[in-house]
Amino acid sequence: MNQPESNTKVYIEIVRQLRVMIEKDGLKAGDKIPSERELSERLNAGRSSVREALRALELLGLIETRRGEGTFMRDFRGNQLVQLLSTFILQDEKAKKDVVETKKLIEMDCLQLASLKRGHESYGLKEWVLKQEDLKDDCFFQKVAELANNHLLFRIWQILKDYYHSLQMEISEPSGELYVKLAEALESGDQETILAAYRKLRNLSVD
Amino acid sequence: MNQPESNTKVYIEIVRQLRVMIEKDGLKAGDKIPSERELSERLNAGRSSVREALRALELLGLIETRRGEGTFMRDFRGNQLVQLLSTFILQDEKAKKDVVETKKLIEMDCLQLASLKRGHESYGLKEWVLKQEDLKDDCFFQKVAELANNHLLFRIWQILKDYYHSLQMEISEPSGELYVKLAEALESGDQETILAAYRKLRNLSVD
DNA sequence: AAAAAGACTGTGGTCAGACCACCAGGGAGA
DNA sequence: TCTCCCTGGTGGTCTGACCACAGTCTTTTT
């Protein structure tokens, strides 16, 4: 590497450089990344170091490599990474409880946010819910998370959702009526009503 | 690799094998992993392939390497994952607002959780606050996040905090008195009181 | 004998070069 | 025009080499 090196490992620096490059060139999903050999030359590093960086990013699901073709940006909303991590991470019981608990909290946050941020357009959530047949829980909350209009929170929710599913617990799908109720509560705009509807949906008592 | 090879890349197979090895040998955080050279021999693969696997796991925060010493298991209960993904994702202006907003939400969640989960020991938060001189905001909420007793949520908060600081905004440190008030509210156990105190601290109106 | 200096061994960190397998595109031949 | 093959570029992998560093053992010095 050229300047910003000191004691950081080369492959870490390469990851940094790649991120800069991606941002600067505005690379999107599907776009091609310079070849390993070119990168190693441009960044003044060995090809093996470049590979270490790329392999890491690949395992994270951020890029995709096709032999004989090249390396490409990926639409990293994927979750294969979460699956991998979860096999490593979610071992003790406490961690599982944390996931369940945190997911609920984030969902409540999303609801709250969504109710605060509506107004502009009365997002016809209720109509949408009614139109769906066999509404999936994830699907509903994905919608809510989007309405919250906070990309970061949405991402966090997605990750939690994936973790949640990897827990392999028996998941109860509430009846469709409860979603309608929740949608109505959301449009009422009253925090208490919303939370009450959510608790009913999740079968919670106090928290 | 020996048997289970087909078209999967070697480094992926190594990751698999490592996971098996970790499970079989019951390796815990802090334990040492066989050296790269030994692994490459045991798994019948080149050292560079082993490295690619290890680097990937390292970037994921699952292992830690120390030059001259070896490679070690790491306490990976947090999700480095969020951290990494978001560095790639948080780029535009909207994202910054999301960070600020989300941090507040998470902090409120922590407060809520902390208030629900106390009871066992009346964590002398107020006393602790009073003892501190020149209390830092982060420091206070770190304490709260710990009291919430949810490692995952704690991690998320930490990450948000880091991002928050990287935003380079002018950060106002509230007066110490407000923290005392918040601590008192927390010990009262009443949700409304707590949120009101938090809003006053953060200078918020409704949300 | 005790302490300090040095050599040795094992580890990760990095690089260069060599193959291989694969894919796409272009040119030669039908 | 169509088909086939060749060639160049790409990722996939391995090997061997060298460096930097940490811990240990040995030797030297005090």
* Residues lining strand D, beta carbon within 7 angstroms: A 33, 35-38, 47-48, 51, 54, 65-71; B 9-11, 40, 44-49, 52, 66-69
Q: Where are the domains of chain B?
A: 10-73, 80-202
**Quick one: CA dihedral A196, B125, B76, A155, positive or negative?**
positive
Per-residue pLDDT at A157 exceeds 90: no
Nucleotide nearest to A33 (CA to C1'): D10
* Largest Cα span, chain B: 66
What's the pLDDT score for residue A51? Answer: 95
Query: If pLDDT is split at 50, 70 and 90, which confidence band does B67 have?
Result: very high
Q: Which of A36-45, A117-126, A168-177, B112-121 has the lowest average pLDDT?
A: A117-126
Q: What is the DSSP string of A96-141?
A: HHHHHHHHHHHHHHHHHHHHHHTTSS---HHHHHHH-SS--HHHHH
Domain B80-202 architecture: Up-down Bundle (1.20)
State the CB neighbour count (10 A cutoff) for residue B46: 12
How close is the nearest chain A Cα to the Cα of B41, in Å? 19
Mean pLDDT estimate for chain A: 79
Q: Give distance CA A57 / C1' D2 (Å).
A: 43
> For residues B70 and B23, which has the higher predicted lDDT (pLDDT)?
B70
Round to whole Å and give the CA distance between B37 and B189: 57
pLDDT digits (tens, 9 = 90+) for B171-206: 777 787 888 888 888 888 888 888 899 998 887 665
**Tens digits of residue pLDDT in B197-206:** 999 888 766 5
Contact flag, residue B65 CB and nucleic strand C, below 7 A: yes
Structure tokens at B25: 């040998």
Checking if the pLDDT of B3 tops 50, the result is: no
Q: Is the CB of B67 under 7 A from strand C?
A: yes
For residue B18 the two structure tokens come to 């490592």
**Residue B122 confidence (pLDDT) above 90:** no
Q: How confident is the model at residue A81 (pLDDT cuts 50, 70, 90)?
A: very low
Query: How many CA atoms within 13 Å lie on the side-chain side of B15?
Result: 25
Cβ–Cβ of B102/A152 closer than 8 Å? yes
Is A35 a residue whose pLDDT tops 90? yes
Instruction: Domain B10-73: give its CATH architecture.
Output: Orthogonal Bundle (1.10)
Label residue B168 by pLDDT band (50, 70, 90). Answer: low
3-state DSSP of B56-77: HHHHCCCEEEECCCEEEECCCC
DSSP state of A30: T
Nucleotides on chain C that have an atom closer than 7 A to a protein CB are 10-18, 21-24
